[in-house]
Amino acid sequence: MLVFSSMALGLLAVDHLSDALDGVRSTLTVLVTPIVYVADYPSRSVEGAQEIFASRSDMREQLVRQEQEVLLLRAKTEKMAALTAENNRLRSLLGSAAKLQDNVLVAELIGVDPDPERLQVIIDKGTEAGVFVGQPLLDAEGLMGQVIETSLFTSRVLLISDDLHSVPVQVIRSNLRLIAQGAGASGLLELVHVPDTADIRVGDALVSSGLGNRFPVGYPVGTVNRVEHDPGKPFALVTAVPSASLAKSRHVLLVFTEEQMGRANAGQGAGQAEAAGGAHAQ
């Protein structure tokens, strides 16, 4: 040990005072390098394995996050599509409102009668907004029905396809005046008491005639889709498809005449005054 210690000290002194051992050091470094790699291999293997597992874990977490983001983006896309469709419907509805010469009030469907024999819907406007029994209801395409029951904030509407509903109509092409009655669950309209010799064809457009002073003149009602003549009967079998999207419309128009709008505004003013008086009394 003393001999090796003396040799070590001597080599340290020589290396410090001269460059004679630089070549030897380089040669020894080359010889020792494989031993260093071999000695360091277990440690590097463990670190590599940890990195692999860590990378897998990170990738899995990243995949989970991306899947969640994809689901969120899909939900947002579907919502945007629904909003776009609703926006298009509202534009069509407002476009129809602009064409009408009467005053209108936009309402929204909030319920449908579950009885298949009763074709009725509920809207979110009532007497507080001036709605009255018998008021016509339209969508962007044509006449939907009329109000049959009102409450303060909602109203019940009878659709034109209900078998209890009838509306006076006129054939645009021939000016023939008829009565269109709902056919019930089929969703069609039946033209009653049509003479077998009447000038009516498949494809003829029907509009409200204004007779009876219930529905204003000129609102689209339907299109004739069937005309059958039976030589043994005095009347032809004629049906029509309603112009309005009875099963799809969500936003609708309530129609007021100038006189009706004045009464509605007066009613709203009286209601607000009464409510204000009650609040002041409290």
Tokens found for residue 132: 């009255």
Task: Give CATH superfamily name and number for 161-243.
Answer: Rod shape-determining protein MreC, domain 2 (2.40.10.350)
CATH code of the domain occupying 103-159+247-269 = 2.40.10.340
**Domain ranges for the chain:** 21-99, 103-159+247-269, 161-243
Please report where in the chains the tokens 């009408």 appear, as a residue.
Answer: 100
Tokens found for residue 120: 């009725």
Please report where in the chains the tokens 């080599």 appear, as a residue.
Answer: 11
What is the spatial distance between Cα 88 and Cα 75, in angstroms, rounded to a whole number? 20
Classify residue 147 by its DSSP letter: E
Tokens found for residue 163: 């078998």
CB 202 within 8 A of CB 223: no
Beta-carbon contacts of residue 45 (< 8 Å; ≥ 6 apart): none
Per-residue pLDDT tens, the chain, 282 aa: give them: 888 888 878 777 776 677 766 677 667 666 767 776 677 667 777 666 666 666 777 777 887 778 777 766 776 676 566 566 666 666 666 655 555 555 788 888 999 988 878 899 999 999 999 999 999 998 888 899 999 999 999 999 999 999 999 999 999 999 999 999 999 888 899 999 999 889 999 999 999 988 888 888 888 899 999 999 888 888 999 999 999 888 787 888 888 865 555 555 555 554 444 433 433 333
Map residue 120 onto helix, strand or coil.
strand
The pTM of this model reads 0.60
Please indicate whether the domains covering 103-159+247-269 and 161-243 agree at the CATH topology level. yes
Q: Find how far residue 25's CA is from the centre of its chain.
A: 80
